[in-house]
Every structure is written in C-alpha cells, then in structure tokens.
Chains A and B, each alone.
Chain A
Amino acid sequence: MALIRGRDRKSGAQIFTTSMADIVFLLIVFFILTYKVEVDRTTMDLPETWIRIKVPEKAAVISISPPDANPPLTIRVSTGEEMSLPVSTDEEVVTFASTEVAQNPNKEFIVKADENVPYERVDAVLDALKQSKVKYIFLLSEQKTVQ
C-alpha cells in the first residue's frame, strides 16, 4: 500500500524563475542608461562614409526628408533638446539658426539628409547656416563597409 502511495507522489517540473527578476532589472538598468531621445525621427538612407566623427550631444538638427517621402524634401529643425518641427521656407531656417547662434555662438549643427536629396536643397540649408554665422557643421552619415 505504501508503495502505491509513493508512486502517486508526483515531482512537479518547474522552471526556475528566481533569477528572472535580476535579469529583468539588469535589462531595465541597461535601457535606462543607454536611453536617448532621438529628436528627429525622419526615416532616410544616410550617405555612407569611411570618416565618421562623433557628433556632439544636444547639437541642433536640421533634417531634409527623402525625395520619395510624403511630403518630399521637407526640412525639419530641432534645437537638439526638443522634437523637430517642419519649416516651410529657407528664411525660417535662417531665423532658427540665428536664434540658436545668438544664444550660443559655438552651437553645433547637424545636417541630416537622405543621400538621394538633390544637392540644391542641401546647398540652401548650408547657405542658411552660413548666413546665420554657424561655426561647426556635422553631416550625418552611416559607416561605409567593404562590399
């Protein structure tokens, strides 16, 4: 009788979950530390370069959307701390950049443009930045790889 009773006693299969909380918290800490708000989320194919310098944090961003985007070739500006906003004319870029430079004469600007954007549009943005007496410009790019 005792043997039968013993056979009935099932050993429950369990997944060991005690360390799960530790792993989860480690992941949370990782994400909190690496979390960075991207001020401009325009999706585009950036040009690829071998030379890539780290852009400064909180630099102002001027993005030009791809020609096949909807709407195409939209210019968006961001101070680097707030989400980017669209501007409709090149004069607005000058006004934006001049305001930023007035507050910080060494303010860096990042130009984020799709590789298929006609250079004419980039030229207009660079011209606006030059008119605003911007000193440092970074042209955002992806890492070029050997194909």
Chain B
Amino acid sequence: MKIKKKEIQSEIFTGSMADISFLLIIYFMVSSAFSATRGLDFALPEDTQTPEIKQEDSIDVHVLRGGAIEVDGTGLALEGLLPYVAEKLKQNPDKPVILRTDPDATYGDMIRVFDELRQAPDKIDMEIKTISIPTRREIENLWSMLGIQ
C-alpha cells in the first residue's frame, strides 16, 4: 500500500499585510501636519553696507494702534499708500520706505502694510528698492544721536 506524501506548499503569509499597511497609513496621516511653508521675506543690511537713512530722504510709514497708518505724518487709508509712494518714487526711484509700527499695534496690522508695500511692482508697476523695518531700539538710538527725547 502506497502512502501518499502530503506536499507542503511554502507560502508567505500575507493576510496581516493589509492591517500593517493601514496602521502605517493612519500613522502618517495623523503625524503629518499640513504646515504653512510660505511667507514674506526680507534681508537685513550687512554691517559693511548699512545705509544711513535720513527721515526726510525717505517715506515714513507709521502703523498706529488699531491698524490705521500715517504716511509722512499724514493719516492715509491703506489703499492710498501705494499711489502716494508712486508719486514719491517718480521724483526719486531710490527713495527708501521706513516702516515703523506702534508697540501697541498688532503684528497683523504691520504685516498688512508690509504686504501692501511688497505689492508695489504689481499695483503701481514700480519697485521699492529699500523697505526698512527699524526696531524700537534702533529708532531710540537714532533719536538719542539726534538729541531728540
């Protein structure tokens, strides 16, 4: 009598692969965050090329508390900022813009004005070559140098 030999088939067990895959998917979905990766850039002047900007040679934009702006000491709506700047740049294309912000204003207020200035090439077809954002310490240092309290 012949005894039939059972053939053992070698197989890789793939039944749990789907479970592992789904676990991996869930891990990546939960741990990957859709982060903001864009923003407004600005380069700070190097020590060797720091230009001395006098207030009268520049366009002084002051962001007040609440988001209102004063340009060269006169209140102006945000929409009126670039047309004003355009007029000044026609006289002197190198004219820098100084963007000062009241300490009690919000960061959002300052960014709104900075974004408006950065849109100059699109809106007024002119480029603002220098937008300076001095810090309070720099402004105070300048004032003390000029003897202004």
Contact = CB atoms under 8 A, between A and B. Distances in A.
A64 B108 CA distance: 13
Interface in B79-111: 101-111
Given A51-B118, A123-B136, A135 B25 contact: no
Nearest to A49: B115
Nearest to A133: B47
B52 interface: no
Interface stretch (B1-9, B29-37, B70-78): B29-37
Contact of A141 (B36, B46, B104): B36
Interface band, chain A: 35 or more
A115 B107 contact: yes
A119 B106 contact: yes
Contacts, number: 142
Given A27-B25, A28-B25, A127 B136 contact: yes
Given A21-B17, A51-B119, A120 B35 contact: no
B119 A136 contact: no
Contacts of A27: 25
Contact of B40 (A25, A129, A135, A141): A141
Contact of A24 (B18, B31, B105): B18
B41 A53 contact: yes
A2 B1 CA distance: 37
Contacts of A50: 115, 119
25 contacts: A21-B17, A21-B21, A24-B25, A28-B21, A49-B111, A51-B119, A53-B38, A54-B38, A55-B38, A115-B108, A117-B106, A117-B107, A118-B106, A119-B63, A119-B101, A119-B106, A119-B109, A121-B107, A130-B135, A130-B138, A134-B44, A135-B46, A137-B42, A137-B44, A138-B39
Interface of A: 20-21, 24-25, 27-28, 31-32, 34-36, 38, 41, 46-47, 49-55, 64, 110, 112-123, 126-127, 129-130, 133-144
